[in-house]
């Protein structure tokens, strides 16, 4: 007989659309638990994240009642994590403990005293042991890949182990990767056969499946397969009645058996994450390397030595994510002793908007907006003022300014541009805009996943190759710079809007990403750069001050080269889909009713305006997403000598 633990992890990101949660509930969460109730001998370890629990509690209280009933019957073991599903390794230890205790408290309301942790995205860091133990956790669930990365063989991965840090000890269970690709994508008998094959007479042997609950009804093709064609009922029936399989739970197993020994796990996540977290060129090479090993029949033999990047690489890969994360760390320190602000801060630690894999993640504006909303609301409980500091740890100082209505953060070392303009009243960051960048899967149709092959069942997301539609290819472009507000361009007078928006033009000047000198004054900052345009001297000076409803900036531009001078404002317009447009104006308005709201841009002289949507191509569980990350507004003036103008930005 072999022990078998079956677990699911249900999560919806903070800020996800209500209709998405409704659909997920009807297609997966509700039918799964209702069918489980029909099989009283079936046991499931379940983790449900805080954002989803809050929605369920408010919108589907009957589901909460069903969970309580299943706990009372002994069919459910509640496994916790950080309440708002943070990557624990990416947040301060004080926040880790508070996040875990919040979900433990909710589990108690369901009738369960939780002692185990589902590790978000299975991102392991050895120093987590101390935080987990301090939060009252006795065991944690990670991937078998973590153990293999520590040098254990596949044959040694059917038992939990102890791991230790600084004298604190915790049990760690390995999730069986083969089961992750069998369940629920292949016929039930494939899982039964595999579990039977593990039975060698060792009564302490345990196989663990614990994976996304969304695979049971939400992933493409799975609702029909799992529910309409009866996979889940058959699975529960066969597993719970097979006398060669002992269905158990983590706590039950640990009450019967001790972990096998001690291991030291390296910083790791699951195998796919090690591909996704690599910079795009290296990710492409990683996929090629894995595929080459597979072709040679060598992958399984050497896979223990095949490792890509770690989760925190996403902060290198996506500077926008890094800035958001470091602002979160900054706010965490500021509000540590402020209970009202803390809840907003903890919400802002929800992991999804900080990274990207097969799901949209950082590419989904509404997820980033939810993080920014909560960061701003938390920050608003404390007064910061003006300071100069390297906020995002990129080696260059930022200038942080605050008045009663806004936060403004300049990067003098990167074009002297405004990289955060956050409204306290609206709780939005007007520069929540992601740059267009090449991803390795734009060229690689598949992914480096050790899939379980076969024609039967339904394909996993990881097994689906995709090609980019031609209509998207025609509009694709990649940026060679980050997106900000008050970015300074010098363009050839013959440049067209299409040249500009599709990144098919040369910058004549060195101002877009060059370093600016600066000095601060009360309520504002003056930035200037002496550079070159087409090899001839040029100077840009901009004097900025925050106002009660926005900002005013005065520009002085000198150039010995005849050119177009452009001031670009990249604004987080997400709910109104825009098209490229060219017009002339001294004043114009934009209205993003479900996003940043109404804004007026006012000038003291007429300018040509180029407007276009900034669209990125990312992969998701549904295929390709061509997403508007924001809208670029560039105000253009001819310059041949000296140019002066004033620009005003106003909330309406």
Q: Say which residues have a Cβ less than 8 Å from residue 402's Cβ, sequence separation at least 6.
A: 383, 384, 385, 386, 408, 546
Alpha-carbon span 519 to 543, nearest angstrom: 10
Place of tokens 């990125």: 616
Alpha-carbon span 98 to 631, nearest angstrom: 38
φ, ψ of residue 412 to 5 degrees: the values are -60, -35
Which segments of 481-528 does DSSP mark as H helices, in order? 497-501
The one catalytic residue among 121, 176, 214, 488? 121
φ, ψ of residue 198 to 5 degrees: the values are -85, -15
Alpha-carbon span 636 to 568, nearest angstrom: 9
Active site residue 398: no
Alpha-carbon span 29 to 362, nearest angstrom: 25
Supply 195's token pair. 């579990």
Report the candidate in 359, 267, 244, 365 with the shortest Cα–Cα distance to residue 313: 267
Alpha-carbon span 142 to 249, nearest angstrom: 15
- At 481 the three-state DSSP class reads coil
Alpha-carbon span 187 to 434, nearest angstrom: 41
Active site residue 212: yes
> Is residue 86 within 8 Å of 350, Cβ to Cβ?
yes
Q: Beta-carbon neighbour count of residue 134 at 10 Å?
A: 14
Q: Beta-carbon neighbour count of residue 323 at 10 Å?
A: 23
- At 345 the three-state DSSP class reads helix
The β-bridge relationship of strands 44-48 and 2-10 is: parallel
The one catalytic residue among 199, 212, 479, 602? 212
**How many helical (H) and strand (E) elements, i.e. helices and strands, does the chain have?**
21, 22
Residues forming the active site: 121, 212
């Amino acid at each position: 007989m072999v022990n078998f633990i079956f677990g699911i992890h249900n999560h919806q990101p903070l800020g996800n659309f209500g209709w998405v949660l409704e659909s997920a509930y009807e297609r997966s969460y509700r039918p799964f638990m209702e069918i489980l109730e029909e099989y009283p001998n079936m046991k499931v370890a379940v983790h449900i994240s805080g954002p989803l629990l809050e929605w369920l509690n408010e919108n589907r209280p009957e589901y909460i009642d069903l969970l309580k009933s299943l706990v009372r019957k002994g069919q459910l073991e509640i496994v916790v994590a950080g309440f708002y599903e943070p990557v624990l390794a990416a947040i301060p230890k004080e926040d880790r403990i508070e996040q875990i205790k919040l979900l433990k408290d909710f589990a108690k309301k369901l009738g369960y005293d939780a002692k185990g942790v589902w590790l978000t995205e299975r991102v392991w860091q050895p120093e987590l042991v101390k935080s987990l133990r301090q939060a009252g956790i006795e065991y944690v669930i990670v991937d078998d890949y973590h153990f293999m990365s520590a040098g254990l063989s596949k044959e040694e991965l059917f038992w939990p182990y102890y791991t230790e840090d600084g004298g604190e000890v915790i049990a760690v269970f390995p999730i069986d990767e083969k089961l992750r690709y069998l369940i629920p994508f292949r016929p039930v008998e494939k899982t039964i056969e595999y579990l039977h094959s593990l039975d060698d007479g060792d009564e302490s042997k345990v196989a663990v499946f614990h994976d996304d609950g969304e695979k049971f009804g939400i992933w493409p093709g799975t609702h029909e397969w799992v529910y309409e064609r009866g996979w889940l009922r058959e699975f529960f029936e066969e597993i719970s009645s097979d006398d060669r399989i002992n269905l158990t739970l983590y706590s039950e197993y640990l009450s019967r058996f001790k972990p096998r020994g001690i291991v030291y796990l390296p910083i790791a996540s699951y195998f796919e994450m090690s591909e996704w977290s690599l910079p795009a060129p290296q990710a492409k090479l990683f996929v090629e390397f894995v595929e080459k090993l597979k072709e040679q029949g060598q992958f399984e033999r050497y896979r223990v030595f095949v490792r890509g990047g770690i989760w925190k690489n996403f902060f290198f890969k996506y500077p926008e994510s890094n800035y958001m994360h470091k602002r979160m760390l900054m706010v965490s320190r500021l509000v540590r002793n402020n209970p009202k602000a803390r809840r907003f801060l903890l919400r802002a630690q929800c992991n999804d908007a900080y990274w990207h894999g097969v799901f949209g993640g950082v590419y989904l504006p509404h997820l980033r907006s939810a993080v920014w909303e909560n960061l701003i609301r938390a920050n608003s409980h404390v007064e910061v003022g003006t300071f100069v500091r390297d906020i995002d740890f990129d080696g260059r100082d930022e200038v942080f300014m605050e008045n009663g209505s806004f936060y403004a953060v300049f990067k003098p070392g990167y074009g002297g541009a405004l990289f955060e303009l956050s409204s306290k009243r609206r709780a939005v960051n007007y520069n929540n805009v992601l740059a267009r960048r090449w991803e390795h899967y734009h060229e690689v149709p598949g992914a480096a996943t050790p899939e379980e092959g076969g024609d039967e069942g339904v394909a996993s997301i990881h097994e689906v190759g995709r090609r980019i539609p031609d209509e998207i290819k025609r509009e694709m472009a990649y940026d060679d710079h980050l997106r900000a507000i008050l970015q300074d361009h010098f363009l050839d007078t013959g440049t067209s809007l299409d040249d500009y928006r599709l990144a098919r033009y040369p910058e004549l000047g060195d101002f877009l990403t060059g370093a600016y000198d600066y000095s601060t004054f009360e309520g504002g900052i003056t930035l200037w750069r002496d550079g070159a345009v087409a090899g001839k001297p040029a100077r840009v000076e901009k004097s900025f001050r925050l106002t009660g409803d926005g900002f005013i900036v005065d520009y002085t531009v000198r150039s010995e080269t005849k050119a177009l001078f452009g001031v670009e404002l990249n604004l987080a317009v997400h709910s109104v889909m825009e098209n490229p447009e060219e017009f002339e104006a001294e004043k114009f308005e934009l209205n993003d009713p479900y996003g940043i709201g109404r804004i007026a841009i006012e000038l003291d002289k007429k300018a040509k305006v180029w407007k276009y949507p900034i669209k990125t191509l990312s992969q998701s569980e549904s295929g390709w997403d061509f997403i508007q990350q924001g809208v670029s507004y560039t105000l253009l003036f001819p310059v041949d000598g000296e140019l002066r103008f004033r620009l005003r930005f106003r909330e309406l």
